[in-house]
C-alpha cells in the first residue's frame, strides 16, 4: 500500500498503531486515524477521549501522524467530547 503513490493513509482503529508507525515511518509516509469512532469518541467521556487521543499522539511522536478517528467522527459525538479530542491535539 505504501507504494501506491498516496501521500496520506487512514489507519482504522483495528490496526495496531505501533505497526502503523513502523510501516509508514519507514516509507516516509503520513498517516492518520486509529481512534475507534464509536467506543473512543461516541461512547467515551470527554476525559476518556482526551486520554486515548493523547496516547496515540505520544505513540506516534516524531512521525508524520495526524490525530483522527479511524473512519469519521459520528455526528452524535457531544461537543464536550469533540472538544476534548481537539484539546488533546493542541496539548500534545
The domain limits of the chain are 11-91
Q: How confident is the model at residue 70 (pLDDT cuts 50, 70, 90)?
A: confident
CB 11 within 8 A of CB 17: yes
* Entry pTM: 0.90
Q: Which of 85, 92, 89 is nearest to 47 (CA)?
A: 85
pLDDT tens digits for range 41-54 = 999 999 999 999 99
**Does residue 5 surpass a pLDDT of 90?**
no
Answer positive or negative: Cα dihedral of 25, 3, 69, 85.
Answer: positive
pLDDT tens digits for range 7-55 = 899 999 999 999 999 999 999 999 999 999 999 999 999 999 999 999 9
Amino acid at each position: 500500500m505504501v507504494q501506491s503513490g498516496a501521500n496520506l493513509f487512514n489507519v482504522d482503529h483495528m490496526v495496531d498503531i505501533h505497526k502503523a508507525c513502523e510501516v509508514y515511518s519507514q516509507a516516509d509516509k503520513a498517516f492518520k486515524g486509529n481512534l475507534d469512532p464509536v467506543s473512543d469518541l461516541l461512547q467515551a467521556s470527554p476525559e476518556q477521549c482526551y486520554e486515548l487521543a493523547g496516547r496515540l499522539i505520544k505513540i506516534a511522536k516524531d512521525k508524520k501522524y495526524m490525530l483522527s478517528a479511524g473512519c469519521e467522527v459520528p455526528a452524535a459525538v457531544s461537543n464536550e467530547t469533540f472538544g476534548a479530542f481537539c484539546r488533546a491535539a493542541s496539548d500534545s
